[in-house]
Structure 1
Amino acid sequence: MSLPRIAVDAMGGDEGVRVMIDGAAEARRRHDQFQFLLVGDEARIKTALDQHPNMRGASEILHCDDVVGGDEIPTQALRRAKTTSMGLAVNAVKQGDAGAAVSAGNTGALMAMSKLALRTMPGIDRPALAAVMPTLEDDDVIMLDLGANTEADARNLVQFAIMGAAYSRIILGRQPRVRLLNIGTEEIKGFDRLRDAASELQAAAPGLDFRFDGYVESDKINRGEVDVVVTDGFSGNIALKAIEGTARFVTDLLRNAFTSSLRSKIGFLVSRPATELLKHHLDPNNHNGAVFLGLNGVVVKSHGSANAAGVANAVTVAAKLLEDNLTHRITSDLAELQARRADESAGESAAAK
């Protein structure tokens, strides 16, 4: 299948042009049908492309030397949406010059630019940031929102669940298990908005091709018992950073333990295959590529510190969402939900008469 090309903000990320181009080239080695619009400083992009002959016939360069700073506040960045590499990459999706945009730049600025240029889909009040995380089982877990919205009401949470489930079906190829993040699994726990969202999801899930399993606590997110975890951006961002911090803590703790003595070093050599497997499983580059769900277009956020393999994963995520038409899936599910709500409203009106 021929995919629309992917716009890459070549100037974003901690390492800049070299890693972004290396990542795009690695993605194309995995999937030789990928085509790219590379946005950024033309001279630097051409220098980086010299190392990747496989990219020459697959890439067009859109010159731009203005870059959104990592600490730039979104409102400031928005004023330069038409001159920065990030803004031009997103605008390429709006204009139809690319099917998706990938950037490793400032998350807040990318969300603001994407929302302004692409707008939210009909039936979606707010877009959400979703990411994939590893679990103890073979399948990964999707979590949203991770920071796009500090607050979310019941209606928002239901929409997040629908978007996350549609994304999960693309990854898993089966009906996902959806849960709301809460402080307990009992029905009485949590805020009213959580209980209201749970009630609607329980009723709507059978017609929307996902299974709603109630609540999940934060210590169960990575156990493999849930496929989609839904929450507001404030709680989601805290949970995500706690998980990432714990992963780094465990990795550093093992490194310190294995280098503390000669006996420990020998033990490390014996257990090295297991520790390498653990390192691979916890490496964020292997799950890189957060998605802004709910927009009229695909925008993927790569981690700022991602290496080439991580950028390649983010590009692959963008292509996968295009190939499986994520926006159409979400639109169809929203239409089903609206029809269900209309039927319930009609039934209530008839009963009142």
Structure 2
Amino acid sequence: MASNSSAESKGEGLSSAWYKGAWWLWLLAPLSVLFALISSLRRALFKLGLKPVYRAPVPVIVVGNLSVGGNGKTPVVVWLVHWLRAQGYNPGVISRGYGGKSEHYPLLVQADTPASAAGDEPILIVKRTGCPLVVNPKRGDAAALLVSCGVDIIISDDGLQHYALARDIELVVVDGKRRFGNGHLLPMGPLRERKWRLNQVDAIINNGGPTHEHEFLMTLAPGALVPVSSADHATPRPPNRVHALAGIGHPPRFFNMLEQLGFTLEQCVALGDHQAVANSQLHSLQSAPLLITEKDAVKWPGGHDNTWYVPVDAQLPLAFEHLLLTRLKELHHGD
């Protein structure tokens, strides 16, 4: 695999160090101790009722993680929307909208809302599911607007640590290969909360395996390639020698998937998570078809007509579905 993955996010060197055990991270230990103290105080204030918590009149499912970076939450959210509809629910989604900045909040996202306002993941979810989705840094306000739209269950895309929103079910997504890096809190390590928090959630979803005890294995199944510049899905598949670009939390996962699909990657460009692509970055990629992620496609600037995106769908075991059904029935018991 040829590489040009000088990932252009400022935190790439730090992120890489978390998973390689770099010794110099110990210099950040005092900051991690401070982070732990502030996080613990914040949790205590919510638990004691000294900070307000919004309780929605409908069930709330949080899909989050312990570590920063992409673990595969968005495919889980899309899967949940479809699965809940099949159970007779009318779900809606709330999101922080990372990578976007709106002139006003809460923002009810439409399929034509620009990613610069809503963020790339909310646009992807809306295009995939058509469900009501509200972006707001204050998730309680987003949930209240969704309820007024008539939803009867809410999925929070991320927000495990957003304790200002009460939740009924917590799902944590874990990268099966990277796990929790060096196991330290930010900024010394990738963790937002320590691993004890896993003992309090309803389910741990392992993206890609290998799984540990009490984890549910999720696999991501790639779909047919879709040309970015055309709605014609009948366009022939590009040749096997391609370039690849990914602006997600862990680009190597996308590049490895393409190789497993039989593509030879002549050049790989890894961008920072949620980073928009500039036309100037595409000049070196004109010599071959370019494959990108669906998340990059929703904010694609154009300028490279021979570009395709690869949609992926989460696949989860029946045991996980049974757990969700049980938890939902417990929530409605006595209603």
Q: Is the pair's TM-score, using the shorter chain for normalization, greater than 0.5?
A: no
Q: How does the TM-score come out when normalised to structure 1?
A: 0.30
Q: How does the TM-score come out when normalised to structure 2?
A: 0.31
Q: Which has the higher helix share?
A: 1
